[in-house]
Structure 1
Amino acid sequence: MMAQSVLHKANTRSIADHGWLKSFQTFSFAGNYNPERIQFGALRVLNDDYIDGGTGFGEHPHDNMEIISIVLEGALKHEDSMHNVAVIEPGEIQVMSAGTGIYHQEYNKDEKHPAKFLQIWLFPNQRNVKPRYQQERYDSRLLPNQFTQILSPDKEDEGVWIYQDAWFHLGKFDAGVHLEHPLKKEGNGLYIFVIKGTIQVNGQDLAERDGFGIWEIESLQINTQTEAEVLLMEVPMNF
């Protein structure tokens, strides 16, 4: 098996600057189109969003997409057509299975300070499901220098669940840590996003906000060069 990979350095991402919102987009999104960066397997959107205080996304629709939000700083207030009203804070993950269709809106809860969050979309493995919402804290389960599962396809497993054979793991690490991370399912790929710090993955150096997709592998070898926070997204490459 010969490993295949794709590197997306932080400074190669598209930028959408709307004044109140600055969005750094790994893959093609809205008006930013790059035919070579449409998706990584089932991973369709990875937006690194900065929202000014007191602003946010007005009501808008989604359908047939698994939509995941991970807040890094600040807090987001969420409301949707399923009558959910919630605040998402750092250390929490939110998922919506849009299915047959939903409307939602998200605003920075703080009037003065910016909020930062990752907006992630995955193609589902079932279409036109009944829309659903789920939110869960994961920070209380984080152990130092280990990856913690925060998303899976199994309702009974750790973390939130989605309609896709995908697993997300997040970890915070000291410098000089070495670990191996196995894949959950044969044929899947792994997309690594460095939230903070610098690391090396299977010999590839990655810095803050770099993305690295790798597939046709059985496991990852990760070495942290500084203190680091890392998100691993395992997704089907063919679906």
Structure 2
Amino acid sequence: MNFVSNHSRLNRRQFLTAAAAAGATAAFSGRDLLTGAPQAQPRNTRPIDVHYHLWSPEFMGIGKENGFKVNPGTPIFWDPKHTPWNLSKAVEDNDKWGIMGMTSVPGTTNWGPKPELWKRMARVSNEYAAKIRSDYPKLFGMWATLPMRDIDGTLKEIEYAMDTLKADGFGLITNYFVNGTDKFQGDEMFNPIYEELNRRKAVIYVHPSNLKCQQGATQVCEDRPRGIPTSHGSFLIRAVQGQLFTSGP
């Protein structure tokens, strides 16, 4: 379907600007963007924080038992220098500031070499997030996490998260460590997962992640384009997003 006539072509920037303006007008007028009809007010009118991590006690226990680390020599979330995530404080803060937090643990499957642990960490995280959302429906939503390096395990977790837990969507990361290298979103390895998510019309949130050579592995970042510092790996997706909105036709 062609929404722009040959006599009135818009470049990408003009289209995005016009669409954003139309959307804002509709949002503030309380009318449907396409039909102009009055819209029913949503049940939740709180601002939504889509980047909101939680750590279940069981998840943290698995990590501690297996010595998972984020960077060389830096334990994750049980380091006494860090304040652990606390449910009662999270409830207090979200209620105080009037926000809803979309809970996620997007980095789970980059920790450790054992597929059974990836699946277990994803499952305990998703069940914990679902319980919190059920207990505090105005304060929390849920991005389910997936054991992406295990394709069959991921397909099963998608089914469980959507059909049983009723997840709002899924929290992924930009790259996963597979056989000593980085596999980015869009790699054909993940095609069965994308096909299932598309079939279910799932909502996806993508979180930046470090390159493998920043995680204490022996591999040097030889795969990255020459001249790109390793610290820039986590910003690649943001750069693409920026280009979509600022580039010419």
Structure 1 or 2: larger helix share? 2
TM-score by length of 1: 0.28
Relative contact order, higher structure (CA 8 A, sep 6+): 1
Structure 1 or 2: larger strand share? 1
TM-score by length of 2: 0.27
